[in-house]
Chain A
Amino acid sequence: MKLITAVIKPHKLEDVRGALETFGVTGMTVTEASGYGRQKGHTEVYRGAEYEVDLVPKVKLEVVVEDGDSADVVDVIVKAAQTGKIGDGKVWVTPVETIVRVRTGELDGDAL
């Protein structure tokens, strides 16, 4: 199994969620996040004092999928989240050892 983590623009969340649902991904975890990559922050001014706001608001989306679906799911996320402008985000994949469904105790593939 793979954990797919995507950091994307907040306003693309609905597009990505819809695309994943169409693909057949039935659950996900979403966290409000902030950070920066090549897209730097912006400047704010309060009574003449300028602040560099480096961290840009993002959402972090996590799904766990079977190994075989991993590449397709990444593809679905990237397509749905893309605007072509700087700051679209990143997607990465990490291996997952074990998953347990809390309600039933089912393991791994059965727990997805």
Chain B
Amino acid sequence: MEINAGDTAWVLASAALVMLMTPGLAFFYGGMVRMKSVLNMMMMSFITIAVVTILWVVVGYSLTFAGDTGHVVGDFSAVGLKGLLAPEAVSGTTPTLAFVAFQLMFAIITPALISGAIADRATFRGWIAFVVGWTLLVYFPVAHSVWFLDDGNGGWIGDKLKAIDFAGGTAVHVNAGAAALALAIVLGKRIGWKKDPMRPHSLPLVILGAGLLWFGWFGFNAGSALSAGTTAAVTFVNTQVATAAAVIGWLIIERIRHGKATTLGMASGAVAGLVAITPSCGAVTPVGAIILGLLAGAVCAFAVSLKYKLGFDDSLDVVGVHLVGGLFGSLAIGFLGSAAAPSAVNGLFYGGGASQLGRQALANLVVGVYSFVVAFILGKVIDKTIGFRLTEDDEVTGVDQVEHAETAYDFLGASGLRGHSPLARPAGAADSTDNGTTETSEKEGANA
């Protein structure tokens, strides 16, 4: 097909929108942890941008979208993005490289989502090793299975089973959520979990992050149309509508259970709605999106309490929001799918049979189990070899200090009224006296 300028512009703009979601996620997660871990939490998202980008160019794109091997993975024909710079390298109505850029951003945010499950307690090297391993072993094959279409000869989920996953309920959210559950179990509970207060240290950061995610999600969902037409418009509207409804759904449940509507509930409800509409934004009508969003917000508001009952420390509720929300949104297609929407499938409520529901369930079950098992084994191997869980002392001191040699907030020194923070001075420098000369202090170096 010929390159269409409008489509290309929209896909490139969408790629940039989706790129912004990962920094948004860094704020969303960063605000939810305690002060001593915020830098590491944000770093886990940002390092994923760097690592997966390289991985994607080297082999990732090729393993996901170049050719097909057994309907589960691509091949090595496009390693290093070989041959994709030529003007005749076209994907649909856009240059293939536009599609490469767009899909890269999905490959980045999916492993980054997992980091919320292991807040405060993971080694940085362990996280990097996990991102590389999980992206190679799980994300690339799953994304291929879901999104590589080749007239029935492509990926087994999208092309053969015909399960619907418009923008990644299965490939992104159930996939990441299942891995998050595995890592929460492998790394174990944080010291003091359920005993010490672990309140979010900055809800404004969480809200900023939720806002950036919401904004970027238009690229995620409507960009997945890969064209600037009706499908993009429908999915754009559905994304907005379901997210708004999910905010209301979550807050209603909170108000009933705890007496107050909270900002964290609002931000979480928005993300739950975005997650749930991701697979289904091309399959439902805007009215369907209202119902889907309201229910998704309510279901996830309950789901985040599960970890306390079941005893796993999924610190920032990746399971409760992404696994549950993604699964809910995906299964909802089986009920709320409408032939009037671009995916053109009727669910149970619209006179269709149960067959689509069955396809959705099977796809999510297989992806969820596969991701969980691989993440579990990978996490164990990393922990036994290079170390994944921080030592007890390091965890108590704080992951920012021991893994990154930094402190996020220095309130005492922040005013600048003192020459230096009472907590810090340049390494090797002695305390300076009033007249600016330097004295050798007996304590030199002891509190640097």
Interface positions of A (Cβ within 8 A of B):
44-51, 53
- Encode B191-229 as 1/0 by CB contact (under 8 A) with A: 000000101100000000000000000000000000000
Closest to A48 in B: B305
B47 contacts A by Cβ under 8 Å: no
B304 contacts A by Cβ under 8 Å: yes
Chain B: interface size category: 10 to 19
Q: 13 A-B Cβ contacts within 8 A?
A: A45-B260, A45-B262, A46-B199, A46-B200, A47-B304, A47-B305, A48-B254, A48-B257, A48-B301, A48-B304, A48-B305, A49-B308, A51-B197
Residue of B199, B304, B308 near A44 (CB, 8 A) is: B199
Question: Please, how many angstroms separate the alpha-carbon atoms of A23 and B221 in the complex?
Answer: 67
Which of B258, B260, B264, B317: most chain A Cβ within 10 A? B258
Residue of B258, B268, B317, B320 near A45 (CB, 8 A) is: B258
Question: Please, how many angstroms separate the alpha-carbon atoms of A51 and B194 in the complex?
Answer: 10
Chain B residues within 8 Å of A44, by CB: 199
Chain A residues within 8 Å of B260, by CB: 45
Question: Please, how many angstroms separate the alpha-carbon atoms of A7 and B304 in the complex?
Answer: 39
Chain A residues within 8 Å of B257, by CB: 48
Closest to B194 in A: A49
Closest to A46 in B: B264
Chain A residues within 8 Å of B254, by CB: 45, 48
Chain A residues within 8 Å of B262, by CB: 45-46
Chain A residues within 8 Å of B268, by CB: 47
Closest to B32 in A: A46
Question: Please, how many angstroms separate the alpha-carbon atoms of A45 and B250 in the complex?
Answer: 14
B265 contacts A by Cβ under 8 Å: yes
Question: Please, how many angstroms separate the alpha-carbon atoms of A49 and B197 in the complex?
Answer: 10
**A interface majority secondary structure:** strand
Top 8 A-B pairs ranked by shortest CB distance?
A45-B258, A48-B305, A47-B304, A51-B197, A46-B264, A47-B264, A48-B304, A46-B199
Chain B residues within 8 Å of A47, by CB: 264-265, 268, 304-305, 317, 320
Which chain B residues in 240-277 approach chain A with CB under 8 Å?
Answer: 254, 257-258, 260, 262, 264-265, 268
Closest to B265 in A: A47
Question: Please, how many angstroms separate the alpha-carbon atoms of A45 and B255 in the complex?
Answer: 11
Which of A45, A46, A50: most chain B Cβ within 10 A? A46
Inter-subunit contact A50/B258 (CB<8 Å): yes
Chain A residues within 8 Å of B265, by CB: 47
Given contacts A47-B320, A51-B197, 14 further A-B contacts (CB under 8 A): A44-B199, A45-B258, A45-B260, A45-B262, A46-B264, A47-B264, A47-B304, A47-B305, A47-B317, A48-B254, A48-B301, A48-B305, A49-B308, A51-B199
Closest to A44 in B: B199
Chain B residues within 8 Å of A49, by CB: 305, 308
Closest to A51 in B: B197
- Encode B55-83 as 1/0 by CB contact (under 8 A) with A: 00000000000000000000000000000
Question: Please, how many angstroms separate the alpha-carbon atoms of A50 and B264 in the complex?
Answer: 13
Inter-subunit contact B197/A48 (CB<8 Å): no
Which of A45, A46, A47: most chain B Cβ within 10 A? A47
Q: How far is the CB of A39 from chain B (nearest CB, A)?
A: 19
Q: How far is the CB of A40 from chain B (nearest CB, A)?
A: 16
Chain A residues within 8 Å of B320, by CB: 47
Question: Please, how many angstroms separate the alpha-carbon atoms of A26 and B254 in the complex?
Answer: 51
Chain A residues within 8 Å of B305, by CB: 47-49
Question: Please, how many angstroms separate the alpha-carbon atoms of A44 and B264 in the complex?
Answer: 11
- Encode B36-58 as 1/0 by CB contact (under 8 A) with A: 00000000000000000000000
Chain A residues within 8 Å of B197, by CB: 51, 53
- Encode B288-326 as 1/0 by CB contact (under 8 A) with A: 000000000000010011001000000001001000000
Which chain B residues in 361-379 approach chain A with CB under 8 Å?
Answer: none
Closest to A54 in B: B197
Question: Please, how many angstroms separate the alpha-carbon atoms of A44 and B268 in the complex?
Answer: 16
Chain B residues within 8 Å of A46, by CB: 199-200, 262, 264
Closest to A45 in B: B258
Chain A residues within 8 Å of B308, by CB: 49
Q: How far is the CB of B410 from chain A (nearest CB, A)?
A: 16
Question: Please, how many angstroms separate the alpha-carbon atoms of A48 and B306 in the complex?
Answer: 10
Closest to B320 in A: A47
Closest to B301 in A: A48
Q: How far is the CB of B391 from chain A (nearest CB, A)?
A: 26
Q: How far is the CB of B92 from chain A (nearest CB, A)?
A: 40
Q: How far is the CB of A50 from chain B (nearest CB, A)?
A: 7
Q: How far is the CB of A104 from chain B (nearest CB, A)?
A: 16
Closest to B250 in A: A47
Inter-subunit contact B199/A48 (CB<8 Å): no
Question: Please, how many angstroms separate the alpha-carbon atoms of A50 and B257 in the complex?
Answer: 11
Q: How far is the CB of A49 from chain B (nearest CB, A)?
A: 7
